[in-house]
Structure 1
Amino acid sequence: MSHSGGGDALYCVCIVISFKSLFKSGPPISFTCSKGEQADLNKILNYIYQISKQEHKKLSSYIEKSITKSTLSTTNVLVHNNAKPYQELYKSCIQNRINIKELSEQDLHKAFRLLKTIAFNTNDRLHASYMQKLLDEKLRRGGRNNYYINEMHKIYVKNRQFSRARELENLYKSGIEKDLPAIKTANIAGRSFMQIKSKAIVQKPFLFPKGGYVIVITSPFCGPSRRYTDWLKTKPNLFKLFSKHSSWLIPVEGEFNTRKVLSTNSENFPIEMKYAYKKNEWPEIGYWGTPTLYFYKDGMLKRQLVGWPPEGQEKLLLQNLKAIDLL
């Protein structure tokens, strides 16, 4: 996860953002890899760069046009699908095209890093499995491999493949930077979140209450998220409203950073940050940049508010709260 600092940033975003919007976004990137040829790693890295450049440009255009028109949180809802171009890139240019054992050290490193980017954006266990094969080859050759082990560990955590992450911890104890805390998952049908309880992270079900409710996508490391919370604490009535009628979710990431989350929760009590378990449990949430607020009425999404600039977006926030009868 790449976060903005306090600065004048409006929002914090993941490494790569891709989305559909009401604005024209140009043609999708065409991946021209001939059938049967070996993977061209430099070409693949260039495609990844093109995806990143194109989608960040779309995001900036979306935010600028939406704020200018004051429609960001009404009918014009930002939706991203950052898995799709990476799924297509993997199928078109990587799958069954890399002879791992014949890769040079430089190309093995390059292949691992590009698979890491793909796996990060897709949360696809197939891509994590391929990344593991590259790690296995790196370990077979010996040398300093802590970077590779830790990046693999983060992908398993992000995919919620906790047993695989534990296997890495048990095999390479001294090489793991951040061991998983105790985790208690459950067989939950529907939405869920993960909450710090005592010394464990516990998965719990989520149900929307009747009436208005807000889901706040947030992060303790995001400057604009902190700016929004700091502003909210200067508005006692709104802070009380959010304490009762909202849930604050940290996007699915490769680390839990429990110490930082606990300290932030202590500062903002009774508002409590929890962890989203899996993004696909929230199909209507189309954008996970922080902060983003989703406004619901009887469990149905009605409005969206993206980002919190230095001057705030109080007018739009109040409009959205009124739209779901919380004001």
Structure 2
Amino acid sequence: MALAACLFLALESNNTSAKDSLSPIEQYFGQLNDASYDDIGLSYREKAGSIRRIYDESISADQHAEKLASISDHDLKLLYESAHLAAFYTHDQKYLADMQLDLAELVRRGLDSDNNYVDLYATLVSQRKFDDARLLGKQHPAQTFKPLPSYQDLTESTENGPSVLTLSEGQHGLEMNRTTVDLTSPTTQIVVISHPLCGPSSRAMHDIQSDPALSKAFISHARWITPQDGNANFDVLARWNNQNPAFPMSPAYRQDDWPMIDIWATPTFYFLQNGKVVKTVSGWSGQDSRHELEQGLRQIGLLPLKP
């Protein structure tokens, strides 16, 4: 999203007149960009909803081929960035479709850039359109896209609810399977939002591992989940899982399928009873966080209550 911010900063620096001198698309993009940085007191769904509302009310009307043909080059680039921003925060396929529509017009004008394809590839991966991402890679071999593992959906078509991408080594390399998660099972009473590249997540895991009571509970009852994103760090996840087999991480297939999770910042610990969250612990600060985890384990019956 850094490119989007840079575009808007450049836009502001080149326009010294009043804000009303900006085109409507420039103003709407500014509103979207501001909303993307508004984290104060907002859950994941609230922030996504705010971005969706601004986009749908202000930008969607311009996302039609006949309108794009007559729009300025500058505004066309901002429309693409707006669709990318909306897709990034909402994971909604309709914004991916707008990205593809805008990119087609950028290509027609000879204005497409490497960053456009990098953003599109990441969006396809984040929305779990792995075949389309592979096709994009074949169409643009000069781009250094991260290769994707082979993929198979092992869920039933009628199944709803949380699911993850489990990673394993197969005969032909890394394999990725979509599997469901039963949050009412005794083996999933703790959900940890984490990531191998997150320093606090790594420190939390090592502190938990070094504490016999915490380690026993987390090994038997925790599910470590990474947020839905388009970074394609599946090799990093596989390496983490090989090095930490007691604490394997799996990417969430789709965040919206986890309605009980409203904070996807890492690390965040959710303690569940019968699939419902009874305690949440965010961040990691060493001993204080350990005490909070112990409290959560007592609430769900995995540690005895203090006398």
TM-score bracket relative to the smaller structure: 0.7 to 0.9
- The question of 1:182 aligning with 2:150 is answered yes
The answer to which of 236-245 and 246-255 deviates more is 236-245
The equivalent residue for 2:40 is 57
The equivalent residue for 1:287 is 263
CA distance in 1 between partners of 2:149 and 2:142 (Å): 16
Q: Which runs of 4+ in 1 moved over 4 A?
A: none
Deviation at 1:233, TM superposition (A): 2.2
CA distance in 2 between partners of 1:212 and 1:194 (Å): 16
Q: Mark the runs of 5 or more structure 2 residues left unpaired by the alignment.
A: 6-21
- The question of 1:96 aligning with 2:71 is answered no
Aligned length: 274
CA distance in 1 between partners of 2:258 and 2:48 (Å): 15
Q: How does 1:89-238 map to 2 (within 5 A)?
A: 89-97=54-62, 99-142=67-110, 145-188=113-156, 189-190=159-160, 191-198=162-169, 199-208=174-183, 209-210=185-186, 213-238=189-214
SS at structure 1 position matched to 2:124: helix
CA distance in 2 between partners of 1:154 and 1:231 (Å): 33
CA distance in 2 between partners of 1:104 and 1:212 (Å): 52
Contact 1:195–1:274 (Cα < 8 Å) also in 2: yes
2:49 is matched with which residue: 74, 84, 90? Answer: 84
Deviation at 1:102, TM superposition (A): 2.9
Deviation at 1:278, TM superposition (A): 0.8
Residues 112/312 of structure 1: CA separation in 2 closer, same or farther (3 Å cut): farther
Deviations 1:225-280 (A, max 9, x none): 11211211221331222111111001111133122112222332221001111112
Deviation at 1:316, TM superposition (A): 1.5
Contact 1:252–1:279 (Cα < 8 Å) also in 2: yes
CA distance in 1 between partners of 2:175 and 2:120 (Å): 22
With normalisation by structure 1, the TM-score equals: 0.76
The equivalent residue for 1:242 is 218
Residues 223/111 of structure 1: CA separation in 2 closer, same or farther (3 Å cut): same
1:47 is matched with which residue: 24, 31, 35? Answer: 31
The equivalent residue for 2:15 is none
SS at structure 2 position matched to 1:233: helix
With normalisation by structure 2, the TM-score equals: 0.81
Contact 1:212–1:295 (Cα < 8 Å) also in 2: no
CA distance in 1 between partners of 2:23 and 2:146 (Å): 33
Deviation at 1:288, TM superposition (A): 0.9
Q: State the identity %.
A: 26
Contact 1:212–1:297 (Cα < 8 Å) also in 2: no
Contact 1:146–1:175 (Cα < 8 Å) also in 2: yes
Q: Which has the higher contact order (CA 8 A, sep 6+)?
A: 1
The answer to which of 277-286 and 301-310 deviates more is 301-310
Deviation at 1:79, TM superposition (A): 6.4
Deviation at 1:143, TM superposition (A): 5.7
Deviations 1:27-79 (A, max 9, x none): xxxxxxxxxxx9722212321233234x32336xxxxxxxxxxxxxxxxxx66
Contact 2:122–2:232 (Cα < 8 Å) also in 1: no
Larger helix proportion of the pair: 2
CA distance in 1 between partners of 2:166 and 2:35 (Å): 34
Residues 43/287 of structure 1: CA separation in 2 closer, same or farther (3 Å cut): same
CA distance in 2 between partners of 1:119 and 1:140 (Å): 23
Deviation at 1:105, TM superposition (A): 3.4
Deviation at 1:144, TM superposition (A): 6.0
SS at structure 1 position matched to 2:142: helix
Residues 325/211 of structure 1: CA separation in 2 closer, same or farther (3 Å cut): farther
Deviations 1:301-324 (A, max 9, x none): 211111113554122211110000
Q: Mark the runs of 5 or more structure 1 residues left unpaired by the alignment.
A: 3-14, 16-37, 60-77
The answer to which of 246-255 and 227-236 deviates more is 227-236
CA distance in 1 between partners of 2:108 and 2:87 (Å): 22
Contact 1:220–1:226 (Cα < 8 Å) also in 2: yes
Residues 176/100 of structure 1: CA separation in 2 closer, same or farther (3 Å cut): farther
CA distance in 2 between partners of 1:118 and 1:242 (Å): 35
SS at structure 1 position matched to 2:146: coil
- What is the RMSD computed on CA atoms of the aligned residues? 2.5
CA distance in 2 between partners of 1:309 and 1:151 (Å): 34
Contact 1:292–1:307 (Cα < 8 Å) also in 2: yes
The equivalent residue for 2:19 is none
The equivalent residue for 2:278 is 302
